[in-house]
């Protein structure tokens, strides 16, 4: 079945060339050629079911398009084309709801040149039309019973008595190590070996923040936390034993975050007492001094490394919004406002070059999710759950994302992307 009922096979123009010319030159005075409201009966059942069930939800989209002097017949045609395209191509896109919607819009623009020309004739700003088009796709997915929660498993209760958020690392396929602060302020540890979860074990110490964890090689893990005197503490596993905590100094006003760009390379980020972002680096031989990177943070930072010399750091800003700063191998960018209303520090994971997935806790203690697909940021999505800490995410097998947090009874809870 064609996705464009009135377009030629290449998507460039309908068969009625003279009509198209008049429509583009004088869009207010012409409706679409041979428009027949009964043609819906020729479409497949899935489209008809979705279309009938979404009319009330589309009222705002209709009104926004009419504001650009588009007549209602044309508006209806345009929205039908968007819905039909989404229904016909739902199996050709993948990822989260946001990722699917972004992919669909990119495909729609590429494959429907004449419709995009028609839209341009009404002088609808491209960003405005993109927002409206994606809104139609979101509604379509909802009517197809595809939601964000369908992408994720239910939350699993992994027990324990946590007094902080989590640090998570993975040094091998199907291996996940989780760290938290216990009831006596000690570091506690639990791991997944691909089949079962271990019991909790105590690794000692006296920490005053959530831990941060990273792995830069097989059987290697580095753990960081804030100490009793607000200093940065470091502990590591070399494959055979745990080493004692070492004091790396500083005055931290948040939990640390750590990323690794390469083997034996570590970048630690913290909020300082002036609420600015600070960085400390390990180059394989020695630790650097603290480097002030500015900003006004109202949470701990979250960081990730991907590609060659690329670092991305996120935090909550002064209006509780997500803010972002990146390193391209030569210089740091300015802080960028990515919106939202966060009630925790963010966590970020990269599933591949230029792909970022950011998580935080929302106003209702639910999990919030936002992603970068290499071109643009998605809108925020809500995922169910009742979190009593910041979330912590990690990439697992087959690029699957695992999210961990503290639950309502101070236990470890886990969510898995299906």
pLDDT (tens digit per residue) in 29-77:
333 333 344 444 445 666 777 888 888 889 999 999 999 999 989 999 9
Average pLDDT (347-371) is: 94
pTM: 0.73
Cα atoms found within 13 Å of the Cα of residue 211, Cβ hemisphere only: 33
Instruction: Identify the pLDDT of residue 150.
Output: 55
Cα 42 to Cα 19: distance, rounded to the nearest angstrom: 24
77 φ/ψ angles, rounded to the nearest 5 degrees:
-60, -45
Give the Cα separation of 396 and 193 in Å (integer): 12
pLDDT(7) > 50:
no
Give the mean model confidence (pLDDT) for residues 370-398.
90
Contact 202, 180 (CB under 8 A): no
Residue 13 has pLDDT above 70, yes or no: no
Q: Order of strands across the sheet with 381-383?
A: 347-352, 355-361, 367-372, 381-383
8: pLDDT strictly greater than 50: no
Place of tokens 């520090």: 345
Residue 360's closest CA among 373, 351, 348, 352? 348
**Rounded to 5 degrees, what are φ and ψ at 144?**
-85, 5
Place of tokens 């630790």: 287
SS3 track for the chain:
CCCCCCCCCCCCCCCCHHHHHHHHHCHHHCCCCCCCHHHHHHCCHHHHHHHHHCCHHHHHHHHHHHCCCCCHHHHHHHHHHHHHHHHHHHHHCCCCHHHHHHHHHHHHHHHCHHHHHHHHHCCCCHHHHHHHHHHHHHHHHHHCCCCHHHHECCCEECCCCCCCCCEEECCCCCCEEEEEECCCCCEEEEEECCCCECCCEEEECCCCCCCEEEEEECCEEEEEEECCCCCEEEEEECCCCECCCEECCCCECCCCEEECCCCCCEEEEEEECCCCEEEEEECCCCECCCEEEECCCCCCCEEEEECCCEEEEEEECCCCCEEEEEECCCCECCCEECCCCCCCCCEEEEEECCEEEEEEECCCCCEEEEEECCCCECCCEEECCCCCCCCEEEECHHHCEEEEEECCCCCEEEEEEC
Which pLDDT belongs to residue 175? 95
Q: State CA 166 to chain mean position distance.
A: 19
Query: b or e along 123-149 (b: 16 or more beta carbons within 10 Å of the residue's beta carbon)?
Result: ebeeeebbebbbbbbbbbbebbebebe
- Say what the pLDDT of residue 418 is: 65
Average pLDDT over residues 143-156: 73
Give the number of other Cβ atoms within 10 Å of residue 92's Cβ.
Answer: 10
Domain architecture of the chain: domains with CATH: 17-146 (no CATH), 153-416 (2.120.10.70)
Q: Among residues of the chain, what percentage have pLDDT more than 90? A: 70
- Confidence band (pLDDT; 50, 70, 90) for 375? confident
What pLDDT is stored for residue 220 in this prediction?
Answer: 97
- Longest Cα–Cα distance in the chain: 80
Q: Which pLDDT score, from 0 to 100, does residue 417 have?
A: 83
Q: How many CB atoms lie within 10 A of CB 293?
A: 17
Q: Name, of 33-42, 55-64, 139-148, 293-302, the range with top average pLDDT.
A: 293-302
| Strand order across the 201-204 sheet | 167-169, 176-181, 187-192, 201-204
pLDDT-derived band at 27, boundaries 50, 70, 90:
very low
Cα–Cα distance measured from residue 294 to residue 308, given in angstroms and rounded to the nearest whole number: 24
Per-residue model confidence as pLDDT tens digits over 157-209 = 999 999 999 999 999 988 999 999 999 999 999 999 999 999 999 999 999 99
- Average of per-residue pLDDT across 279-286: 97
Greater confidence, 6 or 122?
122
Q: How far is CA 350 from the centre of its chain?
A: 10
Q: Please, which residues have CB within 8 angstroms of residue 297's CB and are 6 or more apart in sequence?
A: 254, 271, 275, 276, 277, 315, 316, 317, 323
Say what the pLDDT of residue 51 is: 85
């Amino acid at each position: 079945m064609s996705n464009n009922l009135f377009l030629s096979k290449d998507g460039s123009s309908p068969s009625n060339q003279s009509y198209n010319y008049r429509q583009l030159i004088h869009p207010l005075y012409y409706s679409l050629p041979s428009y027949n409201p009964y043609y819906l009966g020729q479409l497949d059942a899935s489209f008809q079911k979705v279309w009938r069930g979404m009319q009330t939800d589309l009222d705002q989209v209709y009104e926004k398009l009419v504001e650009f002097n588009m007549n209602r017949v044309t508006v209806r045609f345009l929205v039908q084309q968007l819905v039909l395209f989404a229904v016909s191509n739902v199996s050709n896109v993948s990822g989260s709801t946001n990722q699917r919607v972004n992919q669909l819009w990119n495909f729609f623009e590429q494959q429907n040149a004449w419709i995009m020309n028609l839209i341009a004739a009404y002088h609808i700003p491209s960003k405005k039309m993109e927002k409206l088009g994606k809104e139609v796709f979101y509604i379509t997915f909802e009517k197809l019973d595809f939601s964000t929660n369908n992408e994720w498993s239910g939350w699993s209760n992994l027990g324990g008595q946590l007094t902080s958020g989590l640090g998570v690392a993975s040094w091998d396929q199907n291996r996940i190590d989780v760290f938290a602060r216990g009831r006596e302020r000690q570091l506690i540890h639990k791991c997944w070996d691909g089949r079962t979860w271990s019991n909790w074990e105590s690794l000692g110490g006296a920490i005053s923040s959530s831990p941060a964890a990273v792995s830069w090689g097989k059987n290697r893990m580095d753990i960081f936390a804030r100490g009793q005197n607000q200093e940065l503490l470091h502990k590591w596993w070399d494959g055979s034993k745990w080493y004692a905590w070492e004091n790396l100094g500083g005055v931290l006003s948040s939990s640390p975050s750590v990323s690794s760009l390469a083997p034996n390379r570590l970048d630690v980020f913290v909020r300082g007492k002036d609420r600015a972002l600070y960085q400390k680096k390990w180059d394989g031989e020695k630790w650097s001094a603290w480097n002030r990177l500015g900003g006004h943070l109202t949470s701990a930072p979250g960081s990730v490394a991907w590609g060659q010399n690329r670092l991305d750091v996120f935090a909550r800003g002064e209006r509780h919004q997500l803010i972002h700063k990146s390193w391209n191998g030569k210089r740091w960018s300015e802080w960028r406002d990515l919106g939202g209303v966060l009630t925790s520090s963010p966590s970020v994971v990269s599933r591949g070059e230029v792909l970022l997935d950011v998580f935080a806790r929302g106003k209702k203690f639910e999990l919030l999710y936002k992603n970068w697909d290499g071109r643009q940021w998605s809108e925020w999505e809500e995922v169910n759950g009742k979190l009593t800490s910041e979330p912590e995410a990690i990439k697992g097998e087959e690029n699957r994302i695992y999210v961990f947090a503290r639950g309502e009874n101070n236990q470890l809870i886990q969510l898995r992307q299906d």
